[in-house]
Structure 1
Amino acid sequence: MDKNKTAQEPIIANPKISQNIESMSSIFTKNLFIFLIVAAILGGITGYVLSFNKGGRGIGNTLTSGSVDSSKITKGTIVGSNDTKTFKDTATGTFKNGGINGEGQFHLVRAGGDSQNVYVTSSSVDLSKFVDKKIKVWGQTQTAQYAGWLMDVGRVEVLE
């Protein structure tokens, strides 16, 4: 009978051990929460700082996205992509409205007459802001039927 009585008694957990496990669990949860908050704050600060680091610019130049306010366009303003491998062709001249026979939305007037004009279009830069300004453009040469030189512009720098 003694054997049956011992087998039926429930095993009681040591209260000190269960308290240690609960306190370790709450400390772990609290530390994890603090770590995640600190990581999020540091990540935000890092992103903010890196958003202002636009290496490779010359002094006085401003690189912006494809759209820029007309009043902010001054000498040295650069608009568009930094990808000069894709946009490797360059041309300089005075920017004017109008293409030729449906090719290009604008054209760049260069020395040498109409045969030297560069007809341009762009899906990434708002070119209408640069009319009547002397600019340098970077782009990709496109196949044309009427234009001597048709370019898809990806970057513009205001020279005057």
Structure 2
Amino acid sequence: METGNQSQNIPAQQSVMKEFPKKEGKKQTIVILLASILVVMAGIASGWLLSSSKAKGNSVTQTSDKQESQIEQEIQEGDIEGLDEAEGTLIEGGIEGEGTHHLEKEGGPSQNVYLTSTIIDLQPLVGKKVHIWGETISGIKASWLMDVIKVKELE
């Protein structure tokens, strides 16, 4: 009989979920909507300002033939002193993503110079014997990776 008596003493369980009071009013919704629009517009404006300031400092333009000859004139004999140089036949293709072209030299593939250039288009010289000047840069797969600064066609 005690079991029946205990069930009467258990308080009613409260619901785990509580309801939040609903706020009546469109004013709060409008304020949140306007604040969201303002934040989005500020993000767009700051992105536009930052991208335009970077573009001014790092603009990349293609050089015309006149500009290339002007660059060659600016690189005088004294300017290439201290630069690395190599001679051979220019072939398209690097090694495992390093370099856009390579220079085949006498002595086999171990003597190849892998090339990239930021100022000279090497494509018109493919298949020709050339003398190049440039700066050696570190490569992972290429035994000799060079950034070409000046090219002279030999044949």
1:65, distance to aligned residue in structure 2 (A): 4.5
Query: Superposition pairs for residues 43-122 of structure 1, below 5 Å?
Result: 65-66=67-68, 81-82=75-76, 83-85=79-81, 88-122=83-117
CA spacing shift, 1:129–1:147, aligned 2, 3 Å:
same
- SS of structure 2 residue aligned to 1:126: coil
1:81, distance to aligned residue in structure 2 (A): 3.3
Query: Superposition pairs for residues 1-160 of structure 1, below 5 Å?
Result: 65-66=67-68, 81-82=75-76, 83-85=79-81, 88-160=83-155
Amino acid aligned to 1:91? A
Q: Please identify which structure carries the higher helix content.
A: 2
CA spacing shift, 1:158–1:80, aligned 2, 3 Å:
farther
Question: What is the CA deviation profile of residues 57-76 of structure 1, one whole-angstrom value per residue up to 9, with x for unaligned ones?
Answer: xxxxxxx7537xxxxxxxxx
Amino acid aligned to 2:92? N
Whose radius of gyration is greater, 1 or 2? 2
Provide the C-alpha distance between the structure 2 equivalents of 1:155 and 1:92, rounded to a whole number of angstroms.
12
Provide the C-alpha distance between the structure 2 equivalents of 1:154 and 1:116, rounded to a whole number of angstroms.
20
Question: What is the CA deviation profile of residues 50-92 of structure 1, one whole-angstrom value per residue up to 9, with x for unaligned ones?
Answer: xxxxxxxxxxxxxx7537xxxxxxxxxx78833314x710000
TM-score when scaled to structure 1?
0.50
Provide the C-alpha distance between the structure 2 equivalents of 1:119 and 1:102, rounded to a whole number of angstroms.
10
Question: What is the CA deviation profile of residues 88-146 of structure 1, one whole-angstrom value per residue up to 9, with x for unaligned ones?
Answer: 10000000000001000000000111010000000111111100000000000000100
Provide the C-alpha distance between the structure 1 equivalents of 2:74 and 2:103, rounded to a whole number of angstroms.
17
Provide the C-alpha distance between the structure 1 equivalents of 2:74 and 2:107, rounded to a whole number of angstroms.
28
Provide the C-alpha distance between the structure 1 equivalents of 2:84 and 2:114, rounded to a whole number of angstroms.
13
CA spacing shift, 1:125–1:138, aligned 2, 3 Å:
same
- SS of structure 2 residue aligned to 1:66: helix
Provide the C-alpha distance between the structure 2 equivalents of 1:79 and 1:105, rounded to a whole number of angstroms.
25
In the alignment of these two chains, the number of paired residues is: 87
Provide the C-alpha distance between the structure 2 equivalents of 1:65 and 1:122, rounded to a whole number of angstroms.
16
Task: Point out where structure 1 has 5 or more consecutive residues left out of the alignment.
Answer: 1-63, 68-77
Task: Point out where structure 2 has 5 or more consecutive residues left out of the alignment.
Answer: 1-65
